[in-house]
Structures are given as C-alpha cells and as structure tokens.
Structure 1
Amino acid sequence: MRYYVLDRGDQLSVDLSESFHKMASEQGLQLDAESPDIVVSIGGDGTMLHAFHTFIDRIPSIAFVGVHTGHLGFYADWKADEIPELIRMMSSHKDEGMLKPRIVRYPLVDLEIRKKSGTSSYICLNEFTLKSVDGTVVAQVDINDHLFEMFRGDGICVSTPSGSTAYNKSLGGAMIHPSIEALQISEIASINNRVFRTMGSALVLPKHHHCDIYSRKEQNLLLTVDHINLPMDDLISVRCQVAAQKISFVRYRPFPFWNRVRNAFLG
C-alpha cells in the first residue's frame, strides 16, 4: 500500500501528519509522493480540495480519505484521535480474510474556458463560480447550444453533487446525492425586474447535457475553480458539463451521504 499525506499546515495538522508517517511506517505502509494508492487529507474540506487538485492528473488511479481537524469536515470520515484505527485498517486489507474497503465515486464538473488569449480546461470537485470584479455580470446562458437566458447580477455558480452542500446551498440550491451524475447552476443575486428577467431558481442538468456561459460585455471577471482564483478580462465563454471521470473515496466503514449532511448541518 502506497500512500501520501497532505495536511492543512496548522500545527495540529502538521503534528498529526508526522504521527501518521511514524505509525504508517510501523505498519509497513510505503510513503510515495509520486504514485500513491491513497491520498490522506488532514485538515478540512479545503485541504481535500487542495489534495484533489494536487493529484488531478492521477484521479483515475488513486483514492482519497479525509481526517477532520477543523470545524466542519464534510469530506472527512475520520477524527484526529482515530488515526491509529485508520492506519490499522489501511494496512490490514492485505491480510487474508480481511474485507477490502469500499470505494465510492463522486461526479465532477468539467470546464472548458475560452479566452481571446487561448483555451484551458479544468475539473472541479466542489464548484465553479463566475463573478465580476468591478460591476454587474452580464452573461448569456445557453443550454445544449440553445439560448436559455441573459443573466445580470453578481454571478453564477455551477456545482457538483458533493459541492451542492457548499456555496450552492447558501445560494438556495438543492442538495444532490452524489450517486446522481449531474451539475447544478445557481444564480448569485440576479437582477429581476420588468426590464431584466432570469429563471431565478437553480437548474439541475443531467450528465448528457451541457451549458455555455458567454461574457456579453467587456468586463473584469474572477473565475474560481474550487479554491483556485482565475482573474481575466478577455473571457469569451465557459462550457460546463459533468466530467467523464470521477473522484474516488475509500470507505473503511459506512458513512452514508445523508448522515454526512445531517451531521454537518443539523448536529
């Protein structure tokens, strides 16, 4: 079993990371920063996002597991004091008669960002947002190559099912189970009056659909892909669709999605 640990950088997470390496070595686990089988995130959900993008080129061949040290760890299965048990389960799968861990796969969103200066591609685990730096966003939204609406407002959020519990939720979007291969489009403070009109509610698109967001004026925009900020003043369009690949999480014990939702938001 090859593993890698990425921690949040605060003292507690760093100390836990060091302890993890020591205990993992004792159990015969191999530290491998290049091609790990499992990436362990120690921190919060932001740490998991960082781990995901660090290994974005190896997503099909690795799995992630989270250790929660912050206030809210939606992607984390384990608490700080449970690390010895996690390591024991990571190392025991090789023993005869031990059950293999369950692998669950969550949908991702694929982005194609077209600018006057070129085209780039990204994949997000939580959400993509488009906002204006210095005024109202003016954007055309097409669904499946047909005009859907002209948007004016603070911005647009496109989330994955797992990301539907994050920024999307604060915008009034629905929470979607990750077994549903879909993306969700939510408006950020849209302008609706007798002159300008948008749908005003979140839209859920299935895997075989796509949406295109076109910049419809000269504007300074801030695009975010999870925790990555992309300022740009020459945006042409962004195509959003459910990605062909998924992220894998390793489950050494049951932790159903709706239990995570309840623990995170209801206590």
Structure 2
Amino acid sequence: MKIAIFSNDKPKSRTFQRRLRRELYRLGKFELTSHDPDIVITVGGDGTLLSAFHRYAHQIDHIRFIGVHTGHLGFYTDWRDYELPELVEALAKDSGQSVSYPLLDVTIQYFDQSKEHYIALNESTIRRVNKTMKTDIYIRDELFESFRGDGLCISTPTGSTAYSKSLGGAVLHPRLKALQMTEIASINNRLFRTLSSPIVIAPDEYITLRPDAQEDYILTIDSFTHRERPIAAVTFRIADEAIHFARYRHMHFWDRVEDAFIGSKQLHSKRGPQG
C-alpha cells in the first residue's frame, strides 16, 4: 500500500510527521510516496486536508484520506497527534474500509465561451468587490429569483458546518447528497425581493447563476480564489466524484458538531456528575 503524508509547517505537525514516517518504515509494509498514493494522511487540521484534497483531486477516485489533527478535533480529522500507535496499528490492519461524502461540481462559463471545471469539498462563493452583486438564480434552468446583495454561498453537506453555517445555513448530515445555497447580505425591500432563506436542493437538481456583466466578481472554490475573465454563468451540482475517508473507527457526525460548536459534554465531564 502506498501512503503519502501531507503536513502543514507547524512544529507539532512536522514532529508527528517524522514520527509517523519512522513507524511506517519500521513496519516495512508500506511505500511512502507522494506519487499516485492509495492513502493520503494529512497532519495539521481541516485546512491541511483541504489543501491535500485539491492537490490530489485528479486522483480521488482511488485515494482514501486520513486526517490527523494537531490542535482540536476537526470535522475531517479522525485522529489526534497523541494517537500515533493506534493509527499505525489501524493502518497495519487496513482492509479497504471507507466512508464517502459528496462533493460540489462547479462549472464556470466566461463571456468568451470558454469554460473551467472544478470540484469543491466545502463550498464555493461568488461576490463582487465593492458593489452590490446582481444575479439571476436558476434551478434546473428555471428562473427562481433575481438576487441583489453581497454574494452567495453554495455548500456541500460537510461544508455546511463551515462558512455556510456562519451565514445562517442549516447543518446537513454528510450522508445526504444535497447542496445548500445561502445568501450573503441580501437586499430585501419593496423593489427587490429574495427568498431570504437558505435552500437545499435534491441530488438531481442544479443551480445556475447568471450575474450581470461585470469584471470584478470574486469566485472562491474552498479556500482558493479565482479572479480571471468576466463570468457569464456558474453552475453548481453534486459531483460525480466523491471523497473517500479510510474510516477505521466510528465517529458520529453529531458528536463532532456538538464538540465543535457546543462543547457541553466536555464541560459536563470537567464538572463531574451532579448530585
């Protein structure tokens, strides 16, 4: 089995990376390589895993990811840096087990008729720099509304816990093959009207944005910014591809949500049982 280790530059992550390499070399069962790996182990946090995902996006049909967090537990990181022996043991007993989550397919059409295609793990956003963004929103080629505001965010279920949530979007379980669109500071008055609510669309539907002809749109794909030619349309749909995680132990999604945003269980454990 070929394994790639992808780490951020923080000292704690680099230390763990070196220790992990030594242990995997010692076992003699794995080939450590960055070329065409079977498993990609990321060391850092969710941002590190996002970077690794985009580096290997063209190979995700046969790659499984494992996330190791050197800070607090993240949504994409199943392991902590102090669990090195347990992780190595799980790798040694690997039987190909995995869990898959949906991705966002983004197709950009420019006014010169050229197109670009991307996939996103979390979300894609579009906005203008200093002025109101105006765009018609189509669902399955039917006009849904004409939007005016700062911008729009289209997210995957796993991305629903990221930027979309801060915009007031719902948290979607990653087993749902659905996309969510949330508004960024929409304008609603007697002249302009939007639904002014997040919407979730079904797997066989897609969203197309046709913004007014301007040159100052900023389009993001996860944490990467695209600012190139004038955009004629952007279409978002559930991707044919999916991301696969080597899941060696069950970690309930709602436990991750509770730990990240509420923390009541951890607080209760510190206080102890109440008499």
Q: Normalised by the shorter chain, which TM-score bucket? A: over 0.9
Q: Secondary structure at the match of 1:102?
A: coil
- Give the alignment's TM-score, normalised by structure 2: 0.92
Greater strand share, 1 or 2?
A: 1
Q: Give 5+ residue unaligned stretches, structure 1.
A: 94-99
Please say if 1:5 is aligned against 2:5.
yes
Q: Give 5+ residue unaligned stretches, structure 2.
A: 264-275
- 1:19 is aligned to 19
Q: Secondary structure at the match of 1:53?
A: helix
Structure 1 residue 240: Cα displacement: 0.4
Q: Does the 8 Å contact 2:213/2:230 carry over to 1?
A: no
Aligned residues: 261
Structure 1 residue 72: Cα displacement: 5.2
- 2:134 is aligned to 138
User: What do residues 226-266 of structure 1 show as CA deviations (whole Å, max 9, x unaligned)?
Assistant: 01110135011100000111100111111011111111111
Q: Secondary structure at the match of 1:33?
A: coil
Q: Any residues of structure 2 matched to 1:179-190 within 5 Å, and which?
A: 179-190=175-186
Q: Distance in 1 between matches of 2:50 and 2:235?
A: 21
- 2:49 is aligned to 48
Task: Point out 4+ residue stretches in structure 1 off by more than 3 angstroms.
Answer: none
User: What do residues 46-71 of structure 1 show as CA deviations (whole Å, max 9, x unaligned)?
Assistant: 11100100100111101001001134
- 2:104 is aligned to 109
- 1:249 is aligned to 245
Q: Secondary structure at the match of 1:70?
A: coil
Amino acid at match of 2:98: I
Q: Any residues of structure 2 matched to 1:1-267 within 5 Å, and which?
A: 1-28=1-28, 29-71=30-72, 73-93=74-94, 100=95, 102-117=97-112, 118-267=114-263
Q: Distance in 2 between matches of 1:232 and 1:196?
A: 29
Q: Secondary structure at the match of 1:179?
A: coil
Structure 1 residue 131: Cα displacement: 1.2
Q: Secondary structure at the match of 1:258?
A: helix
User: What do residues 112-161 of structure 1 show as CA deviations (whole Å, max 9, x unaligned)?
Assistant: 00112421000000000001112111111001101111111110000000
Q: Does the 8 Å contact 2:67/2:77 carry over to 1?
A: yes
Q: Share of identical aligned residues, percent?
A: 42
Amino acid at match of 1:84: P
Q: Does the 8 Å contact 2:46/2:76 carry over to 1?
A: yes
Q: Secondary structure at the match of 2:246?
A: strand
Amino acid at match of 1:23: E
User: What do residues 161-207 of structure 1 show as CA deviations (whole Å, max 9, x unaligned)?
Assistant: 00001001111111111111110000000000001111100010111
Q: Does the 8 Å contact 1:220/1:233 carry over to 2?
A: no
Q: Distance in 2 between matches of 1:38 and 1:194?
A: 54
Q: Secondary structure at the match of 1:61?
A: coil
Q: CA RMSD in A?
A: 1.2
Structure 1 residue 209: Cα displacement: 0.3
Amino acid at match of 2:124: F
Q: Distance in 1 between matches of 2:136 and 2:216?
A: 16
Amino acid at match of 1:65: I
- Give the alignment's TM-score, normalised by structure 1: 0.95
